[in-house]
Amino acid sequence: MGTFEELVAEGAAVPLEGWDFSWFEGRATEERPPWGYAGLIAARLAVVSSALDLQTGGGEVTASAPVLPPRMVATESWPPNAVVASRRLPLVVRVPDDGPLPFRSGVFDLVISRHPVVTPWEEVARVLKPGGTYFSQQIGAGTNRELTDFMMGPQPVGEARGTPAARAGAEAAGLEVLKLEPVSLRVEFFDVGAVVHFLRKVLWTVPGFTVEGYRDRLLDVHSHIQEHGRFACTSTRFLVEARKY
């Protein structure tokens, strides 16, 4: 498996572009939500004439759909991801995560987003056509809190990512919430290198994470995995669907 130093160095060297998590195969697992988000958006993309993918990452999920609408646009804020996404999708626009969106009002039948950093509800409502829908899989409150607390000590769980906040944001923007379905999922890391790469990639788990700044805690993670065979935690996800009146 490698020494602590070898594993940490390996996890620190993996490129961060895109949202392809195939590097973790055999080194970490995450239980999948039961609804199959990629299949759900593929079905929706196949029957609309225009769609917007917010915060697309590397465009992996949307590009996996067999049929894209005639007008398919994506946004991404991080330049390396935008470059990767541009190879997969017809049009990718650099836009800050919290907007504003550089599109006319009422132009999209469908707005989608997988794991957005933030949802600009007012902008989503503005760019949707009447009767259009927003469909998103989001990260819930307190996701992977066991790992966060292990690295940083006990942390308060904010509700900015919770389902009540999503409902409130959607309704305040004038959208009707059709679906709001939460789920808890088991996550397991089998070596400290996987933990390092994950913390570099999923920045909100341990804000400000660096290998040097958290070397002592990483050594404790390594010892925990050696003793127990894994470091286990719980991720939270929810599916939200909302319609513009």
Cβ neighbours of residue 228 closer than 8 Å, sequence gap 6 or more: none
Q: Is residue 96 scored above 90 in pLDDT?
A: yes
Give me the residue label for tokens 């990483």.
218
Give me the amino acid identity at 50: S
Give me the amino acid identity at 91: L
List, for residues 183-215, the tens digit of each pLDDT value.
999 999 999 999 999 999 999 999 999 999 999
Provide the 10 A C-beta neighbour count for residue 164: 10
- Strand order through the sheet with 128-139: 28-30, 175-189, 231-244, 128-139, 108-114, 50-53, 71-76, 92-94
Q: What is the mean pLDDT of the chain?
A: 96
CA distance 114 to 102: 20
pTM exceeds 0.75: yes
Paired tokens of 75: 């946004």
pLDDT of residue 212: 97
CA distance 164 to 71: 32
Average pLDDT of the segment spanning 17-37: 90
pLDDT of residue 105: 98
Q: Is residue 19 scored above 90 in pLDDT?
A: no
Give me the amino acid identity at 148: T
CA distance 37 to 112: 10
Specify which residues 99 forms β-bridges with: none
Query: pLDDT band at 83, cuts 50/70/90?
Result: very high
CA distance 138 to 154: 23
List, for residues 105-131, the tens digit of each pLDDT value.
999 999 999 999 999 999 999 999 999
pLDDT of residue 21: 81
Give me the amino acid identity at 68: L
Query: pLDDT band at 171, cuts 50/70/90?
Result: very high
Ordered by where they begin, the domains of the chain are 4-244 (3.40.50.150)
